[in-house]
Structure 1
Amino acid sequence: MKMQTDELLTREQVPTELTWDLTHLYADDQAMQADLTTIKDLAQQIGAMKGQLTSAANLVQVLVAARDLDIKLEKAYVYAFLRRDSDTTKADANQLFGQAAKTLEVVQTQTAYIEPEVMQIAEADLAAWLDQEPKLAEFKVMVTRMRAQKAHILSATEEALLSRVSRTLNGADEIYNTLNDADLDFGKIKNEAGQLVQLTHGNRSQFAESADRRVREAAARAFAKPYHDLRNTFAQMFNTYVGGRNTTAQLRHYQSARQAALQPHEIDESVYDTLIETVHQHLDLAHRWYQIKQQALGIKDMSQFDLNVPLAGNDVLKTTFAEGKQLTLDALSILGPEYMDGLTREMNERWIDAAENKGKRSGGYQVSVYDGNPFILLNWTDKLYSTFVLAHESGHAMHSWLSQHHQPAQYAEAPIFLAEVASTFNENILTEHLLEKYHDNPQAQLYILEESINGFIGSIYRQTQFAEFEHQAYTAEQAGETLTADLLDQISTDLLKQYYGPNVSLLPEAATQSWAYVPHFYMNYYVYQYATSWAASASLAQAVWQHEDGALERYLGFLKSGSSQAPIATMQAAGIDMTNSQYLTTALQLFERRLDQVESLLAKMK
């Protein structure tokens, strides 16, 4: 089915089969709103237990009730979240999400006492309760993690106050997404045929890959223009968000927002620093790739808007949504029946929202529901890239699906540090499948290899660049600097020059405002995990694809583990030690081999 038109479809014009089926959660908005009323009542009941965590029976009662409440709240909140993201211009959807957000605030306020009171339980008493009350056993890991953060948990009163203002502290995130997804207009540009076409988040890549350099440059300038025009507004939003994260970290007695983001997930900050140091040591490989492209394309003055032109051509391996689903199913069949059962349901039961429409959230993501199924947002373009995005988000979905079927709710959601391994693993497996499928087609091989290289560039190099930018911004704000547009532009430009190297020139307005394009900057030290995860998953995928003894079983065990162990221990059980730089070096050696393969193919195709 054709999913691209010159004019963006309205939500009502999108074929039903290309939208997600939210009746998997609720029959309609009214059913969800009725659940919100029940959730608030249950929250009040839990709130009434404040000050009573003085026995094993009471502790079990509150923990079980809070877990069950979280399951119900997640279902309602995700429903409203997906309704809003389907079309952010719809007032009723935004109002529904507002109701869910307020309910979340009520729940957080009513349950804010739990962690402080758990902290106050004497070690001897807690040990005795764990011996006496079998129902506490499944909460042992959760309680242990909670108590490990004792220095950062405030009093019950302070936690309640902080939960009440959390929506305000995080408000910049919602404002950014609304502005970015609903209100920005990139205007129209002329395509290769000279026709005026609306530029959107979804079709931007189509023009970035154009063989016509004038189209590429026009698209880059048009995309950058609204961000440049609103640069001070975007800077103020980012400054507000970063300030809120730094303030919250300070209130919780962390040394920094980075520590506050990593420590609760049992990730040492050295992992972050090691990533940046190791990537710096291998920047020459990225620079080599840009030089390969420059020579192959025959461009003397290589610009950043030239980097996405496929060496094999634009129309190689174009895939419809139906074809992309089948390719993903075929590639991932190596993971066995349990995995494929969930993946087949995802593809056939409308867990995916595929087509771009006016007001729809840009990009792609997966969100899981313990009392339901995962949902995936895409903005399909018929480029092979979209199939890789589908495989990526399906990795998240099946990680969630398998964890929720093998773990209780409190351990079903894996931290992002692990979740991104599952998603990028699928991209690496898809690459191997396609290289095998098209082994006798040099042009297709070149195109597939470039997609793989783009994965290394986009996930390791670009995300590490983002991680550096993010950390520099947080550090500057914490030191008392205001994150003005000029300051952010300078940080961004300096990093781009370093990562692109000497052969790539910058388009000034596109380079300076590139920090404003990235929604993940509103997810608080999130981006570095794309890089660490890609590096880890590259090794895991090689082991599974080559049928190394025990590799598949270890990987499936990883997918089923959720957050039941510390992330580093979970990865070690899967076969990857992330406490040193070796996993990064191993992945970058694979990247170097991909470069060698491309150079060899180009030489043969001359």
Structure 2
Amino acid sequence: MAEEKLLSRAEVPENLKWNLALLYQSDADMKADFEQTTKLVDQFAEFQGTLATTAANLAKALILSKQIDEELEKEFVYAFLRRDSDTTDATATELYGMISSQMSSISAKMAFFEPEIVEMDDTTIDGFFAAEPKLAEFKFMLTKIRNEKAHVLSNLEEQLLSRASKALNAPDEIYNTLNDADLTFGTVHDDDGNEVQLTHGNRSQFTESQNREVRKEAVLAYEKPYNELRNTFAQTLNSYMGMHNMTADVRHYSSARQASLSSNQIDEQVYDTLVSSVNQHLDLAHRWYALKKKVLGLDKFYKYDINVPIAGNDLLKTTFDEGKQLTREALSVLGPKYMEGLNREFYNRWIDAAENKGKRSGGYQISVYKANPFILLNWTDKLYSTYVLAHESGHAMHSYFSQAAQPSEYFEAPIFLAEVASTFNENILTNYLLEKYQDDKQIKIFILEQYINGFIGTIYRQSQFAEFEHNAYQTQEKVGTLTADYLDQMSGDLVDKYYGPSVTPTGTKTQSWAYVPHFYMNYYVYQYATSMAASTALSAQVWNKEDGALQRYYDFLSAGGSDYPVETLKRAGVDTTNSDYLEQAFKVFEQRLDEIETLLA
């Protein structure tokens, strides 16, 4: 699907674009709905100061708030997807800017809600639950709010923070605009010597080339603009982390990390246990790099050599249609209910597949309770893209099942759970491919390497990012400024530690931190690693058809955010409060390493 010349949005075939008519037929229709929603917000504001008067009043306010949230989600996501389709489209950017700006005002008008809930005494709230059956649905939501009592501010303070939210979130917007719309990597040479534009989406085609000069040129070209703008990226990250440190302090948290984990009652020890456990198993990753260096016969194994496949390029090259079929075949083990949802996703244009000029890089899934999930991809005809499709489809089906089972306030699972559903699908896809090609040694090596790269990228790499992120937050809090020199040094030291003695550094250190958009998601990355470890156990149970495993997994998907994530995972069969689940994951990884070593011998 990748073209030598990047397509404009208008040149992308309709069947490779998501169908935003599933949300609105036009921008005008969205704006008209948004105008009506703002009127509902004004109605909600009339409840200020009255929530504790009667149980019926509280129920009415909650039901109206729920309606507003459902409408705002639909309107915001439409504008968000319009913008991400082409960040160079001025109309789409203006539309997104309009609704983002208005969201700050809306948040300020509704900011009285949590302080009033927190101020209610236990006797009053218990009496309301007994008197008004309609409140039963909202009990967990209200409990979560009241558990955060020490961190909810006064009504006026909450209003001020809400009004300031757009300005406070500006570093995130600036980073995404810079990274997706303004950053250019120039041209590089492909395997045939042709000059080709390098992009976020097609980078892997060059970095996995068997021609060492091709991958070296691409890696250095990709690093160059990040290094040239290193001070800008450092200031953007400093501003973002400074904002979260400030907000955590204002809300009386001990740190930005505690603030991020607290709302879902995730103990900070979960984070520290992950980093500690991964550091204890760095030898397995180092063993892989040493093996690869030996098999490739390289005197020096540079970072730009890491991604070249041992078995050869594109042994399982797949078009978008072929990738969908492969994903369907693999996930059929989850039964007809899952396949019904997956077919809806594949055949109703929930996916935006092709890369185009100005399109947001990477991949993600975002859901709308009153519509359906949407997936952004930047497809290349490599097996990696099929893995991304399976990953994002895991998110989409998680939303699909929770949407059917939960009211809107609980249908969205917290990230700690959401990444379990996505990496679960990656594990199932690996199991399926290894079984499908069990008699083909070269393809099996190719698949095992894909798994190993995925495991290292998800557990080791994200733990490396988690170490970097936490250290950066702590330094920003103590010193007040994160400089490019400091970030380069810290990131470089972590790269050396995680990659080990067999890998020789090359290029610049800036790209190893500046290109990571997830640093603008506030303690997000560690959850990739914890989730991959948890999903390794769950997927093995389902793949091996253990009694009750599939039903437990369906229950997990259907739970959404209706309970604290640690408890939801316990019911599914994984306890993240200790390191056992991590040890199980490393055991599987070691078995895969043993297997590929045997095949390569």
Common topology (TM > 0.5): yes
Structure 2 match to 1:578: 576
Secondary structure of the structure 2 residue equivalent to 1:322: helix
1:532 aligned to 2:530?
yes
Contact residue 399 and residue 559 of structure 1 kept, 8 A: yes
Contact residue 468 and residue 491 of structure 2 kept, 8 A: yes
Stretch deviating more after TM superposition (556-565 or 103-112): 103-112
1:413 aligned to 2:412?
yes
The amino acid of 2:417's aligned partner reads L
Contact residue 399 and residue 411 of structure 2 kept, 8 A: yes
Structure 2 match to 1:404: 403
Secondary structure of the structure 2 residue equivalent to 1:371: coil
Structure 2 match to 1:249: 248
Equivalent residues in 2 for 1:157-236, closer than 5 Å: 157-236=156-235
1:32 aligned to 2:30?
yes
* Cα RMSD, aligned residues only: 0.7
Structure 1 match to 2:318: 319
Contact residue 242 and residue 480 of structure 2 kept, 8 A: no
Equivalent residues in 2 for 1:581-596, closer than 5 Å: 581-596=579-594
The amino acid of 1:160's aligned partner reads Q
Q: Deviations for 1:138-177, whole angstroms, at most 9, x for unmatched residues?
A: 0000000000000000011110110000111111101100
Question: How far 1:481 sits from its partner (Å)?
Answer: 3.7
TM-score, structure 1 normalization: 0.98
Query: What is the CA–CA distance in structure 2 between the aligned matches of 1:512 and 1:171, rounded to whole Å?
Result: 22
Q: Deviations for 1:3-53, whole angstroms, at most 9, x for unmatched residues?
A: 211110000000000000000000111000111101111111101211011
Secondary structure of the structure 1 residue equivalent to 2:575: coil
Query: What is the CA–CA distance in structure 1 between the aligned matches of 2:257 and 2:389, rounded to whole Å?
Result: 30
Secondary structure of the structure 2 residue equivalent to 1:89: coil
Secondary structure of the structure 1 residue equivalent to 2:510: helix
Secondary structure of the structure 1 residue equivalent to 2:301: coil
Count the aligned residue pairs. 600
Q: Deviations for 1:98-127, whole angstroms, at most 9, x for unmatched residues?
A: 121123212211110000000111110110
Contact residue 420 and residue 530 of structure 1 kept, 8 A: yes
Question: How far 1:336 sits from its partner (Å)?
Answer: 1.4
Percent of residue pairs identical: 60
Q: Deviations for 1:71-108, whole angstroms, at most 9, x for unmatched residues?
A: 00000000000000000000000011012112321221
Question: How far 1:480 sits from its partner (Å)?
Answer: 2.2
Structure 1 regions of 5+ residues with no counterpart? none
Equivalent residues in 2 for 1:366-515, closer than 5 Å: 366-509=365-508, 511-515=509-513
Query: What is the CA–CA distance in structure 2 between the aligned matches of 1:386 and 1:503, rounded to whole Å?
Result: 28
Query: What is the CA–CA distance in structure 2 between the aligned matches of 1:190 and 1:447, rounded to whole Å?
Result: 25
The amino acid of 1:18's aligned partner reads L
Secondary structure of the structure 1 residue equivalent to 2:339: helix
Structure 2 match to 1:541: 539
Secondary structure of the structure 2 residue equivalent to 1:185: coil
Query: What is the CA–CA distance in structure 2 between the aligned matches of 1:164 and 1:327, rounded to whole Å?
Result: 47
Structure 2 match to 1:52: 50
The amino acid of 2:27's aligned partner reads D
Query: What is the CA–CA distance in structure 1 between the aligned matches of 2:232 and 2:302, rounded to whole Å?
Result: 27
Contact residue 314 and residue 383 of structure 2 kept, 8 A: no
Secondary structure of the structure 1 residue equivalent to 2:358: coil
The amino acid of 2:329's aligned partner reads D
- Poorly superposed stretches of 4+, deviation over 2 Å: none
Secondary structure of the structure 2 residue equivalent to 1:265: coil
The amino acid of 2:61's aligned partner reads V
Query: What is the CA–CA distance in structure 1 between the aligned matches of 2:64 and 2:198, rounded to whole Å?
Result: 49
Query: What is the CA–CA distance in structure 1 between the aligned matches of 2:186 and 2:569, rounded to whole Å?
Result: 46
1:340 aligned to 2:344?
no
1:562 aligned to 2:536?
no
The amino acid of 1:538's aligned partner reads T
Structure 2 regions of 5+ residues with no counterpart? none
Question: How far 1:193 sits from its partner (Å)?
Answer: 1.5
Secondary structure of the structure 1 residue equivalent to 2:532: helix
Contact residue 43 and residue 106 of structure 1 kept, 8 A: no
Structure 1 match to 2:89: 90
Question: How far 1:315 sits from its partner (Å)?
Answer: 2.1
Q: Deviations for 1:287-308, whole angstroms, at most 9, x for unmatched residues?
A: 0000111011111100111100
Equivalent residues in 2 for 1:5-16, closer than 5 Å: 5-16=3-14
Question: How far 1:423 sits from its partner (Å)?
Answer: 0.1
Contact residue 36 and residue 103 of structure 1 kept, 8 A: no
Query: What is the CA–CA distance in structure 1 between the aligned matches of 2:276 and 2:284, rounded to whole Å?
Result: 14
TM-score, structure 2 normalization: 0.99
Secondary structure of the structure 1 residue equivalent to 2:504: coil
Query: What is the CA–CA distance in structure 2 between the aligned matches of 1:8 and 1:512, rounded to whole Å?
Result: 26
The amino acid of 1:462's aligned partner reads R
